[in-house]
Amino acid sequence: MDLKQGVFEHNMPGVFPYRPSTGGDDQNPKLVEINDDSAEKIFKSLSSESARSMFDLLYEEPQTASDIAKSLDMSVQNAKYHLDKLEEAGLIEIIDIWYSDRGREMNVYAPTSSSIILFAGASNEERSLRKILKQSLGITGILGIASFLFGWVLRNLRPETIVDTDTDPSNPVLVMKSLVQFLALPEIAFLLGGIFVILLTLGGWYLTTLPD
């Protein structure tokens, strides 16, 4: 190797600098339901001690396959094998490309999330819906009692003055008039208004759970 080539290789890190990534500072936790298909991939990719040690190293800082191989005293080929499995499981990703002293490209790996959280049972959306439904049922019961008391008070303060001499139940006009009078009762209007507000709340919750 001549002197000029040696100087070039020595200065390569300056031309292709190592650039540690800082993009993972704002990452969110990864939520995985234990019965989800992705959970099985995660379990398989972390089944070996080497893979778990490798994954732990990447949480300390982004690294290349050669860096990991050196830290864990394994071959680069073995390190790449586990890295591919972790990447397929969605646990890590390539965030950058660094260069060796000889100008060879090296993929830089880092976790895809700040942490991994496995959970069993209902999803967050289901738990949120259950919570809203329980609250809504409680509110509906309160509205029912309140509307009954509200109507009772009004009826005692203001006696009914509506008198209809037509008592034929088959008369459609009478049926419609009776329905209108029933819906116009203060307690019924109060209850229907409360139910309408509950439906709006559930609709708003549903819209917030839709994917972007």
DSSP track, 122-149: S-HHHHHHHHHHHHHHHHHHHHHHHHHH
Same domain, yes or no: 80 and 32: yes
Q: How many CB atoms lie within 10 A of CB 136?
A: 17
pTM, full prediction: 0.48
Rounded to whole angstroms, the Cα distance separating 72 from 68 reads 6
Same domain, yes or no: 8 and 110: yes
Same domain, yes or no: 99 and 137: no
Cα dihedral 45→106→70→68 (10° resolution)? -30
Query: What's the CATH code of the domain at 8?
Result: 1.10.10.10
Final residue of a structural domain among 119, 136, 161:
119
Give the per-residue pLDDT at 177. 67
Same domain, yes or no: 72 and 96: yes
Q: Tell me which of 178 and 97 has the higher pLDDT.
A: 97
Same domain, yes or no: 106 and 133: no
Same domain, yes or no: 12 and 114: yes
Q: Tens digits of per-residue pLDDT, 41-81?
A: 999 999 999 999 999 999 999 999 999 999 999 999 999 99
Same domain, yes or no: 170 and 89: no
Same domain, yes or no: 91 and 134: no
Number of structural domains (the chain) is 2
Instruction: Tell me the residue range of the domain where 104 lies.
Output: 3-119
Final residue of a structural domain among 119, 154, 178:
119
Task: Return the SS3 of 46.
Answer: coil
Give the per-residue pLDDT at 107. 94
Give the per-residue pLDDT at 54. 94
